[in-house]
Amino acid sequence: MNLKEQYRQDYIKSEHHAQDELDKTLIKLSGGAFAVTFAFVSNFIVNEPVLAGWLITSWLVWGLSIVCSLASYYLSTLAFRRAIDELDSGKEFEDVDPGGHFTTWLNFLNPFSLFLFAIGVVSISIFVTYNL
């Protein structure tokens, strides 16, 4: 197998891996963050919650983080597909632009998703601090 074919096979593997990770991330993020906070609110807060906006903020930014992660996974599969198509079209190995403009979006979405998740952790921490 020549270097170009090896490169193409690596893209195909990465495309499949990204799709697998998408499913895992959805289950972990949505199931974990939301379930824990729902359980916390319903089981441990007996009085009227204080600063409930922080709880709502955590849910919103965690939801946005999930959406960004989904978009990132989707765009990564498009980027891999683009690179595979470029290789298949006969472009020279050195002329392939892996990801193209999708890479710009990925470079934004990946850290932004992490940032949003961190904001959710801070928000829920503030809420918990005032409600224990």
pLDDT at 31: 66
CB atoms within 10 A of CB 64: 16
- Name the DSSP class of 49: P
pTM of the prediction?
Answer: 0.74
pLDDT tens digits for 43-102? 777 788 889 999 999 999 988 888 888 888 888 889 888 888 888 888 777 777 777 888
What does the pLDDT average to over 16-20?
A: 71
4 Cβ neighbours under 8 A, 6+ residues apart: 87, 93
Percentage, residues of the chain above pLDDT 70: 94
Contact 127, 51 (CB under 8 A): yes
